[in-house]
Amino acid sequence: MTNKAVVIEAPGGAEQLKLIDVDVGEPGPGEIRIRHVACGLNFIDVYHRSGAYPLPLPARLGMEGAGVVEAVGAGVTHLQPGDRAAYASQPPGAYCTARVMPAKCVLKLPDAISFETGAAMMLKGLTVQYLLRKTLPQGGLQPGDAVLFHAAAGGVGLIACQWARALGLKLIATAGSDEKCRLALDHGAVHAINYRTEDFAARVKDITGGRGVKVVYDSVGADTWEGSLNCLAPFGLLASFGAASGPVPPIAIGMLAAKGSVYITRPTLFTHIATQAATQAMGDDLFGMVASGQVQVRIDRRYALADVAQAHLDLEARQITGSAVLLP
């Protein structure tokens, strides 16, 4: 069987993505070999391709996928050949038909969840899990608390809207069009702000009676950074977990005092899933939310693996709402 993988030989635009034949060997200790049914598409893949997050070259791309375990290496006990499985994992390399990879972040996929849903939800869903469950302001979050979530019509955002609703939180969404705002509202946001036509910080203060929100979850970066700080209540938390519009500029630490003794953090998923036990616990939480129907994973587009360049162009142009998958 001929196996295919997407590689880049130099950083740059979508034209750098090449589909090549590859050999897939046997798993070593702590590894598995998985044959993909679907592969996830995420904005971090664009950062890897462009060189914003540099990788050793030549590099394979892709951080999540789902399929069937074909073989396991020595020491792997939580997976067996034939298991349905899904993952969000380093190192990159999910854009392929099959791969050998570390086993610690690969989880059994419940029968109630399809391969496409598994591939579309692992990185995004685990991100929402660590944000809403672990990346919390002073005193945590209680039902009725208001939070602000940027890019709420994307794959991460739509999961966050639903998960926040299940937790009783009042999620205020931002998005770049009226259509995307409606989508966020349909998925559980209590307010939605078109940041292209409105001052979102002013709207947030209006919605909250001038106080602001306990926490802002911001994956946009440069374009929203200052406004996000202005949305915080005293002692609030700004969680910057991405930079879709460009990196956040340096800040003067005194600004945090001026804004009301606020906090800033830059969390990453891979810090949270550093061990198999942590990954399993977070995955169980995610699987439970999806299997219960409280979180439904919207797959907006499906692309053949050979069409990965178009998928990246659509992702960068913000043409994809919800999630998208590549099909080997």
Q: Assess whether 290 and 204 both reside in one domain.
A: no
Q: For 208-226, what is each residue's pLDDT tens digit?
A: 999 999 999 999 988 899 9
Q: Assess whether 36 and 21 both reside in one domain.
A: yes
End-to-end CA distance of the chain: 13
Q: Assess whether 182 and 302 both reside in one domain.
A: no
Give the Cα separation of 324 and 124 in Å (integer): 11
What SS3 class is residue 132? helix
Classify residue 131: in a domain, yes or no.
no
Average pLDDT over residues 148-169: 96
Element spanning 234, H or E: strand 232-240
Distances (CA, A) of 229 to 93, 176, 190, 246: 36, 19, 21, 17
Residue 1 has pLDDT above 80, yes or no: no
* Closest-CA residue to 127 (of 149, 110, 108, 144): 149
Residue 84 has pLDDT above 90, yes or no: yes
pTM: 0.93
Q: Assess whether 172 and 243 both reside in one domain.
A: yes
Residue 52 is part of which domain span? 3-123+271-327
Average pLDDT over residues 88-92: 95
Give the Cα separation of 165 and 185 in Å (integer): 11
Other Cβ atoms closer than 10 A to 192: 23
Average pLDDT over residues 271-282: 96
Average pLDDT over residues 189-215: 97
- The token pair at 172 is 């205020």
Give the Cα separation of 327 and 163 in Å (integer): 27
Q: Assess whether 33 and 119 both reside in one domain.
A: yes
Q: Assess whether 143 and 68 both reside in one domain.
A: no
pLDDT-derived band at 244 (thresholds 50, 70, 90) equals: confident
Supply the pLDDT for residue 318. 84
Is 83 or 2 the better-scoring residue by pLDDT? 83
pLDDT-derived band at 77 (thresholds 50, 70, 90) equals: very high
Is 132 or 319 the better-scoring residue by pLDDT? 132
The total number of structural domains in the chain stands at 2
Q: Assess whether 62 and 167 both reside in one domain.
A: no
Give the Cα separation of 267 and 168 in Å (integer): 23
Supply the pLDDT for residue 243. 83
Classify residue 129: in a domain, yes or no.
no
Supply the pLDDT for residue 321. 80
Average pLDDT over residues 76-99: 97
Q: Assess whether 148 and 89 both reside in one domain.
A: no
Quote the strand ranges of 30-162, DSSP E.
Answer: 31-40, 59-60, 64-72, 84-88, 98-102, 106-108, 146-149
Contact between residue 157 and residue 318 where contact means Cβ atoms under 8 Å apart = no
Average pLDDT over residues 178-191: 97
Q: Looking at residue 317, what DSSP letter applies? A: T
Angle, helices 155-167/115-134, rounded to nearest 10 degrees: 60
Contact between residue 89 and residue 145 where contact means Cβ atoms under 8 Å apart = no
Q: For 94-147, what is each residue's pLDDT tens digit?
A: 999 999 999 999 999 999 999 999 999 999 999 999 999 999 999 999 999 999
By percentage, how much of the chain surpasses pLDDT 70? 100
Burial label for 76, CB within 10 Å (0-12, 13-18, 19+), is buried
Q: Assess whether 50 and 157 both reside in one domain.
A: no
Other Cβ atoms closer than 10 A to 229: 22
Strand partners, 191: 172
Classify residue 92: in a domain, yes or no.
yes
Residue 288 has pLDDT above 80, yes or no: yes
* Closest-CA residue to 297 (of 169, 173, 145, 127): 127
Fill in the amino acid letter for 10. Answer: A
Average pLDDT, the chain: 95
Supply the pLDDT for residue 187. 97
Element spanning 272, H or E: helix 269-272
Residue 251 has pLDDT above 90, yes or no: no
- In Å, how far from its chain's centre is CA 325? 13
Q: Assess whether 198 and 228 both reside in one domain.
A: yes
Q: Assess whether 204 and 318 both reside in one domain.
A: no
